[in-house]
Amino acid sequence: MDMQELKEAIFSLKKKKNAVILGHYYQRDEIQEISDYIGDSLALAREAERCEADIIVFCGVHFMAETAKILNPTRKVLLPDMAAGCSLADSCPADAFKAFKEAHPGYMVISYINCSAEIKALSDLICTSGNAEKLIRSLPEDQKIIFAPDKNLGGYINSVTGRNMLLWDGVCMVHDAMRAERAIQLKKEYPEALMIAHPECNAALLQVADFIGSTKAMLSFIQNSDAKQFIVATESGILWEMKRNNPDKEFIVINPEDNKNCNCVDCSYMKLNTLEKLYRCLDDEQPEIVMSPEMIDKARKPIERMLEMSKKLGIIK
Ligand code: 13P
Ligand code: SF4
């Protein structure tokens, strides 16, 4: 089947099976194009929670599909490629994290949503890049906090809030690899451009950014800015939504000077999902996210707390 035939076949299977496709902003363009909802991890978690379709096909990575299952366990949740993992989630194995937590009694455990269900089950509160700062600011000043798994996001929040959260030593291989030196070079090449960065980037790079924010916050920033050029320090899939909403603006990705056509700003896990795999997974209703009711129950509590707090703080409706 060619791409058009695949899209039509997916559309008719989706109708026949009462399925919905949730797509993350980092997915391939053609997948974002065919998704019923596109969003960041917070918006997609919210969509999954209130989804009434029988099947959720989650076009994103494993921890996102798992979160959808946790929030809406009676739905069948499919992930087009089970190997679509996350280096950040992998940097925090449950056994080691449990020992770390036990070594620090009295600490509240806040985990970024980019972690496994086991880590969620060991956490008091989950956050995303879209709500982390506000959630943490709303906690008592003297609250002792362990933040996992992303030391870059945690370090950034420590720097803007003056907190001293204890950080787990994990990073996202895509964002952490973007270099401040290259960003400075690009700023010289494009003196009118504003540089926007995801807080998963390393501290040196964040220091030279004009705006730091979640995927959604970056999109709003561009929309509301008069600037015409943006240097983008995040995963390249986001360019599809950026260009769609701002056809008159130019976006420059932070690729290395000596290899301008590399795919280093692509998340190889996110890109594992293809139209072909999406079609097959809808047809076969496989691979499916399967979890024990006990794990769903334990992991749901800190996610529900995040959603409740986010509603109270006016971050989501
Ligand atoms: P968002 O929370 O902005 O959707 O980011 C998810 C992610 O995987 C970032 O690398
Ligand atoms: Fe994980 Fe990084 Fe890929 Fe996001 S971009 S899914 S944090 S590896």
What's the confidence (pLDDT) of residue 264? 78
Distance (Å) of CA 56 to CA 71, 180, 232, 294: 12, 39, 30, 21
What's the confidence (pLDDT) of residue 92? 98
Q: What is the pTM of this model?
A: 0.95
Alpha carbon of 11 to ligand 1 centroid (Å): 27
Q: Is 97 in the pocket of ligand 2 (CB under 6 A)?
A: no
Distance (Å) of CA 104 to CA 94, 119, 146, 300: 15, 16, 8, 23
What's the mean pLDDT in 158-170? 98
Domain residue ranges of the chain, discontinuous segments joined by +? 3-85+270-286, 88-171+297-312, 174-253
Residues 103 and 95: their CA atoms lie apart, in Å, by: 13
Alpha carbon of 174 to ligand 1 centroid (Å): 11
Q: Do domains 88-171+297-312 and 174-253 have the same CATH topology?
A: yes
Rg (CA), the chain: 19
Residues 69 and 289: their CA atoms lie apart, in Å, by: 7
Residues 133 and 114: their CA atoms lie apart, in Å, by: 16
Domain 3-85+270-286: assigned CATH number: 3.40.50.10800
Q: Which amino acid is at 121?
A: A
pLDDT at residue 1 above 90?
no
DSSP 193: P
DSSP 196-226: EE-TTS-HHHHHT-SEE--HHHHHHHHHH--
Question: pLDDT digits over 210-269, tens only?
Answer: 999 999 999 999 999 999 999 999 999 999 999 999 999 999 999 877 777 777 789 999
What's the confidence (pLDDT) of residue 105? 97
Provide the mean pLDDT of the chain: 96
For ligand 1, atom 8, which residue shows the shortest CA distance?
A: 114
What's the mean pLDDT in 4-17? 97
Alpha carbon of 129 to ligand 1 centroid (Å): 7
| Burial group, residue 208, by CB count within 10 angstroms (0-12, 13-18, 19+) | middle
Of all ligands present, the nearest one to the C-alpha of 126 is: 1
Question: pLDDT digits over 108-147, tens only?
Answer: 999 999 999 999 999 999 999 989 999 999 999 999 999 9
DSSP 150: B
Domain 174-253: assigned CATH number: 3.40.50.10800
DSSP 245-260: H-TT-EEEE---TT-T
What's the confidence (pLDDT) of residue 259? 72
What's the mean pLDDT in 59-75? 97
User: β-strand 166-167 against 145-148: which pairing, if any?
Assistant: parallel
Of all ligands present, the nearest one to the C-alpha of 89 is: 2
For ligand 1, atom 6, which residue shows the shortest CA distance?
A: 41
Least confident range from 97-101, 105-109, 112-116, 311-315: namely 311-315
What's the confidence (pLDDT) of residue 118? 98
Q: Is 214 in the pocket of ligand 1 (CB under 6 A)?
A: yes
Residues 93 and 170: their CA atoms lie apart, in Å, by: 10
Q: Is 147 in the pocket of ligand 2 (CB under 6 A)?
A: no
The phi, psi pair for 126, rounded to 5°, reads -105, 150
Pick the CATH number of 88-171+297-312 from 3.40.920.10, 3.40.50.10800, 3.40.50.300, 3.20.20.70: 3.40.50.10800
Selected residue with higher pLDDT from 312 and 263: 312
